[in-house]
Amino acid sequence: MKKTLSILKIIILSVVIASLTFAPAFASVTNGEELNVISPDSGYKILVPDFVELKEVIVGGESIIAVVMKTPQIDKDGKYPIFEIVTTDKDAYKVESFPGIMTEGQIGDFSGIFKDGKVMYNPTFMISEDLKNEDLVYCFDFSVFDKNDNYIFGASDINFVFTNDAASSASEPVQVQEKTAKPTSAKVVINGKQVAFEAYSIDNNNYFKLRDLAMSINGTEKQFQVGWDAAKNAINLISKTGYTAVGNELAVSQNLTSKKAVSTNSKIYVNGEEVKLTAYNIGGNNYFKLRDIAKVFDFGVTWDGKLNMIGIDTASGYTEN
């Protein structure tokens, strides 16, 4: 870029090396326009001129945090400058990427060579008019290779939204909180039967996926449906309605470890009325506070410290601690 960084709005995203795997990115505001993405000491970062704000968007019923920037302009070579990748990794030689639009697929490609530890990420797009559509979410994952074409770094889930309004009146900047989410070691017993969950504890509160909870109490009087309301751009929950499975409910990963949790403000409607629920994005999935869901659908939740056990009882109503 010909402009100096001193006169550009700059956003810094740090990404962590994940050997032979992609490192999913999620952002949190720490100081003005500086955002941390996974690890600030990885040796990689990207600089985004024309940064506007962070924005929470819903895609396919899931909440993600996207970087909002002014719509990039095509240069004389037919490319669109998006951001600059900067690294201290002396083995980094080449970057390759196949940018896409969420829900639509690949829309372009990019290949660049590092010079003095820097390379401008300026892909060629197969389309141009869609860049003016502020409802689209763009994915700019990239891979880094050494001079021998050995893969040494990958970053994924770097999501962008373009705006034609520098002030971005679409929404207020997202105020994001970071917490540490620890795997829940407690047993979970539902109506007397133990059920395995991939759940986490944040500030001594238990967090579960909505679809996991819906599946686990399906067929009871407290069952609820989880759907997507396109008109409201929100998750829609319907009480006393059988749950429709999507196929990945109640999956539990092996060797769970503590993860960074980033607060989200997903729009949730229950029977058509908006409700406020405490939620965090953990590893790319939204987790909701168990007691919030129990209160909304009026089922009992208990804690037995001696047995290290969470109890869920759909035959009883919700009571506060």
Among 55, 110, 104, which residue's Cα sits nearest to residue 82? 110
Whether residue 288 contacts residue 261, with contact meaning beta carbons closer than 8 Å, is answered with no
Average pLDDT over every residue of 222-230: 87
Closest to 72 (Cα-Cα) out of 170, 171, 166: 166
How many of the other CB atoms lie within 10 Å of CB of 195?
17
Residue 316 CA to residue 26 CA, distance in Å, equals 38
pLDDT (tens digit per residue) in 112-153: 999 999 999 999 988 766 677 888 899 999 999 999 999 998
Provide the mean pLDDT of the chain.
Answer: 82
Residue 175 binned pLDDT confidence (cut-offs 50, 70, 90): low
Residue 285 is predicted with a pLDDT of: 81
Tens of pLDDT, residue by residue over 14-45, are 443 333 344 444 444 443 344 444 455 678 88
- Per-residue pLDDT tens digits for 243-296: 999 888 999 988 889 988 888 877 889 999 999 899 888 877 889 999 999 999
**253 alpha-carbon distance from chain centroid:** 18
Among 125, 5, 1, 121, residue whose Cα is nearest residue 67? 121
169 pLDDT more than 90 = no
- pLDDT score at 321: 73
* CATH number of the 8-163 domain: 2.60.40.2550
36 has which bridge partners? 14, 28
More confident residue, 9 or 313: 313
Would you call 293 helix, strand, or coil by DSSP?
helix
The closest of 58, 56, 55 to 228, measured between CA atoms, is 58
pLDDT at 55: 78
Q: Which residues pair with 181 in a beta bridge?
A: 259
Strand order across the beta sheet in which 193-194 lies: 193-194, 187-190, 309-313, 300-304
- Whether the CA torsion 38, 81, 7, 172 is positive or negative: it is negative
What local confidence, expressed as pLDDT, does residue 45 receive?
Answer: 83
**pLDDT number for residue 133:** 81
The CA distance from 60 to 103, in Å, is 8
Among 49-63, 82-96, 159-173, 228-242, the least confident range: 159-173
The pair of structure tokens assigned to 321 is 């601690």
pTM summary value: 0.57
pLDDT the model gives residue 40: 55
The amino acid at 7: I
How would you write 202-265 as a 3-class SS string?
ECCEEEECHHHHHHHCCCCCCCEEEEEECCCCEEEEEECCCCCCCCCCCCCCCCCCCEEEEEEC
Q: Which whole-number Å values give the CA distances from 57 to 54, 129, 190, 264, in the listed order?
A: 10, 21, 33, 10
Q: How is the beta sheet containing 27-31 ordered, strand by strand?
A: 27-31, 34-37, 12-15, 44-47, 83-87, 118-121
State the pLDDT confidence band at 67, using cuts at 50, 70 and 90.
confident
Domain definitions of the chain by residue range: 8-163, 178-313
Which residue type is seen at 166? Answer: A
